């Protein structure tokens, strides 16, 4: 399993695209662009297994000890939006404006996890997409979001997971509810719209041969169509 990043700055405010490529000899590549309206200071964090971690939302935070070592590309030295663990599980956070997270009571029964560590939690605890989906769907903690430091941008993202088998899942919080899309076929995702609508768009454009025309703007929906078409053509030529 390999992970690679691309950083570009475009007119679109949050123009990220994530693709999982299944190549010959069972090679699986996960790549994403990181296109943002402001500079994102980034460092690589290498975390060993056995490291004690916290959800960082106060005394009612979820706590865990990492089962797997990981490497992530950080943002502002507080968040882990992209990374891979020693078992080849890859996690990517992409912007999703329609995200709405469940309410969190600092004095309540449910533990909390900062959105900055959502991807890191998956990398620390799970070896495969299926394992991660099975546990995360239990919603044993609340994902807690906040503003990006020093900005007026309220963090709204969805999480994608992939692994060396080519399995894939997209996790979104819509109207305060966790929605999980789990299928090896879900190899392309962008920012908006919500993934269910991305799939509907894909279904429409699959009826139109790519040799005729494809949508050409930098809108997330159009980028999703182009990436899906390129991925389909590449796969058919294997």
- What residues form DSSP beta bridges with 21? 29
Residue 212: count of CB within 10 angstroms of its CB: 6
Q: Distance between CA atoms of 108 and 99, rounded to whole angstroms?
A: 22
- For the question of residue 16 being annotated catalytic, the response is yes
Residue 190 · residue 94 · CB < 8 Å: yes
Of 3, 16, 113, 122, the active-site residue reads 16
Q: Distance between CA atoms of 86 and 109, rounded to whole angstroms?
A: 33
Phi, psi of 209, rounded to the nearest 5 degrees: -55, 130
Measured in whole angstroms, the distance separating CA 143 from the mean position of its chain's CA atoms is 14
Catalytic residue numbers? 16
């Amino acid at each position: 399993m390999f992970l690679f990043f691309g950083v570009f700055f475009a007119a679109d405010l949050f123009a990220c695209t994530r693709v999982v490529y299944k190549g010959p000899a069972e090679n699986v590549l996960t790549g994403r662009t990181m296109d943002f309206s402001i500079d994102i200071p980034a460092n690589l964090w290498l975390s060993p297994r056995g490291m004690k971690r916290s959800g960082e939302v106060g005394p009612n935070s979820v706590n865990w000890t990492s089962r797997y070592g990981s490497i992530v590309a950080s943002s502002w030295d507080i968040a882990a939006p992209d990374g891979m663990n020693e078992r080849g599980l890859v996690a990517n956070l992409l912007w999703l404006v329609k995200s709405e997270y469940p309410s969190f009571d600092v004095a309540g029964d449910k533990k909390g996890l900062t959105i900055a560590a959502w991807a890191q939690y998956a990398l620390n605890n799970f070896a495969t997409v299926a394992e991660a989906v099975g546990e995360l769907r239990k919603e044993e903690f609340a994902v807690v979001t906040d503003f990006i430091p020093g900005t007026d941008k309220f963090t709204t993202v969805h999480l994608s997971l992939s692994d060396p088998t080519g399995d894939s899942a997209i996790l979104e919080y819509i109207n305060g509810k966790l929605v999980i899309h789990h299928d090896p076929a879900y190899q392309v995702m962008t920012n908006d719209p919500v993934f269910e609508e991305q799939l509907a768009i894909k279904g429409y454009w699959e009826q139109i041969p790519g040799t005729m025309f494809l949508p050409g703007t930098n809108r997330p929906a159009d980028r999703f169509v182009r990436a899906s078409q390129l991925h389909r053509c590449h796969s058919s030529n294997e």
